[in-house]
Amino acid sequence: MTSPDLTEANIDRLAELFPNVITEKLDADGNPKKAVDFDLLRQELSDHVVEGPQERYRLDWPGKREAAFAANAPIAKTLRPIGEESVDFDNTKNLFIEGDNLEALKLLQESYLGKVKLIYIDPPYNTGNDFVYDDDYAETADEYLLRSGQTDHNGAKLVANLESNGRFHSDWLSMMYPRLKLARNLLSDDGVLVISIDDNESANLRKIGDEILGAGNFVAQLAVQVNPRGRHLDRFVAKTHESLMVFVRNATADSIAGVAKEGRMADEYQRSDERGRHRLLGLRNRNQAFNPQTRPNLYYPLFVAPSTGRVSTTQNAEFSVEVLPDAPDGTQTCWTWGRERVNSDNALLLAEQTGKEWRIYRKDYLHGADGEVAKTLVKSLWLDPEFNNDYGRKSVKDLFGEAVMDFPKSPQLMKRIIEIAAEPGSTVLDFFAGSSSMAHAVMLANAADGGRRKFIMVQLDEIPDPKSVAAKEGYSSIAALSRERIRRAGVKVIEEAGLGAGGLDVGFRALKVDTTNLTDVLRTPDETEQQALSGLGDSVKPDRSGEDLLFQVLLDWGLELTMPISVEKLEGHEVYLVEDDALIACFDSEVSPELVRAIAKREPLRAVFRDSGFASDDARINAEQIFHEISPATDVKAI
């Protein structure tokens, strides 16, 4: 009898935007209710680290505020194309990005916001010997820009995180937190996040996952047997499995598909009728929590036609044998189906007699009504031998002749994740790509079902151990090895697909995280000498190409980085045309009025020029006027 609680409604709206700021508090009656952590909300809306802790239910660690700040702080970076490292650059829809994944995720925010169906990551495990990313983004926005811009041209550093370090868990959490926050933004509404993890940080990962994606969007922690023998350092228990932590972007969406009933599971379907192969499952409900008071609609007798085994809820001359849902030990249980479903799906039920007892079964078919292999819910325990690390190592050895990576994930394990979480036309992101087992799996999945899935791989240009096989084989970085793995895997997938390989995309556009293409030419009059003015006219760095500038423009406008690009000569100028005139760009050092008019006549959605290409401010203003007259809908920009 009251108007709506607008405070609760506002909290719900904030939870959509910033799920990590939602916490719990006790109301006047001592009952827990949702509340806003205003300290965290201020941090989300601030360009500096906000102080002011208070007691609350959440996971805390030294450096958490700095980690939240790192997720939001801007960077002076861009993505530059590497044509010579790419495969089928002009046609592919796949991306391989070399560089720090925190910076890559920031650069992808506009172009791929809400567009990624599956994000899988296999982050560094916090074992005391592995490496973590040393972000060190705890100061001000200006310091952050300096640190992540011109001063650190190699990207993020790698440092050992030894157990003797007092921040052993904190450093790992601070590395993961901002990356997961940014990853969440890229997930589609029905998107899925899957993270490989071992025991060392699984509890903490679950907590920050709950905070960032919302506790209600946690699905399961799957166990995958990756090493049937255990490890030689194991004590007390042979650790044969790793976990897959699964979250969804929106628990109300249909995010995860079932697993096809095939392989060894299909062997269980030994019976057959006019509809097809099936198996029999008992109709008796084994849930011991049910009783006649809580589930009265599931307690009733069924009647059997002795000559045919048909089942009915009604007794008559044909259906004469009464069967009650009795458990073998004499205790009464109940049926799985209610009366209405028994009557409507009667053809799916069958009674069989063993001695004097009748048992009621339901038919579970291998194929659906459409002829496709039926699916069952994903199980929480994965024991397929093709999922273990030995198979991952073998898949790399088959491509390179030797195992150039120590612990690559099995592409068959990756393929299973794709099958349950990424439809044939969706985008898959892995921002801890390693040897790019996920890219390999995307190509395998597309070859298997004719899909058009696209992948985005991100890998730091980490230098391999000088004693490693990869280093001895001449690979200068893990990123270089990863690209080569995709090339070789693509060739093999095409060979194995044979005639079915038509249209299969096994290429990728190689990009690299680098400093911005633009120079800092902003000056105040009193700090600028007359002779320095001539050097401040061009805002583009001298070593940057037109293609470099084009990709920065794509990022600035939030356009996908795999859009088709062609180059034409127009009025004597080199012009880039993107996605059927969605964008036309010319970055020549001189821009003529004739070129401007020719581009305007094509009525592109967007047009961009190099600012220094105009002889004067008047020339640039005239160009804008030409578009206003000929193509007023065109968005015109000068960089």
DSSP string, 85-115: G-BSTTT---EEEES-HHHHHHHTTTTTTT-
Taken in order of first residue, the domains within the chain and their CATH numbers are 6-64 (no CATH), 76-127+181-257+385-395+404-458+477-514 (3.40.50.150), 263-375 (no CATH), 525-638 (no CATH)
Q: Are 417 and 222 in contact (CB under 8 A)?
A: no
Give the type of residue at 608: V
pTM of the model: 0.80
CA distances from 476 to 157, 393, 442, 482 (A): 16, 20, 25, 11
Six-digit token pair at 522?
């902003």
Residues 6+ apart with CB under 8 A from 104: 79, 97, 431, 458, 513
Mean pLDDT (the chain, rounded)? 87
Rounded mean pLDDT, 614-638:
93
DSSP string spanning 454-470?
EEEEEE--PPPPTTSHH
Rounded mean pLDDT, 613-628:
92
**Number of C-beta neighbours around residue 69 at 10 A:** 23
Q: What is the dihedral of CA 619, 621, 627, 632, to 10 degrees?
A: 180
Neighbour-count burial for 533-571, b at 16+ CB within 10 Å, e otherwise: eeeeebbbeeebebbbbbbbbbbebebbbbeebeeeeee
The upper half-sphere exposure of residue 208, i.e. CA atoms within 13 Å in the direction of its Cβ, equals 24
Q: What is the pLDDT of residue 534?
A: 54
More confident residue, 527 or 589: 589
In the block, residue with structure tokens 């102080």? 51
Of 607, 608, 599, which is closest to residue 630 (Cα–Cα)? Answer: 599
Q: Which of 113-122, 536-545, 629-638 has the lowest mean pLDDT?
A: 536-545
Q: Which residues pair with 542 in a beta bridge?
A: none
Q: Determine how β-strand 276-282 pairs with β-strand 357-365.
A: antiparallel
Six-digit token pair at 456?
């985005």
Residues 6+ apart with CB under 8 A from 418: 118, 428, 441, 442, 445, 453
Q: Are 610 and 639 in contact (CB under 8 A)?
A: yes
Instruction: List, for residues 436-482, the tens digit of each pLDDT value.
Output: 999 999 999 999 989 999 999 999 998 888 888 988 888 989 999 99
Q: Which of 22-31, 169-178, 413-422, 484-493 has the lowest mean pLDDT?
A: 22-31
Confidence bin at 399 (pLDDT 50/70/90): very high
Confidence bin at 157 (pLDDT 50/70/90): low
CA distances from 65 to 14, 49, 324 (A): 19, 6, 62
Instruction: List, for residues 302-344, the tens digit of each pLDDT value.
Output: 999 999 999 999 999 999 999 988 766 666 778 999 999 999 9
Q: Which element (helix H / strand E) includes 363?
A: strand 357-365
Q: Output the CA torsion sign for 106, 112, 114, 116.
A: negative
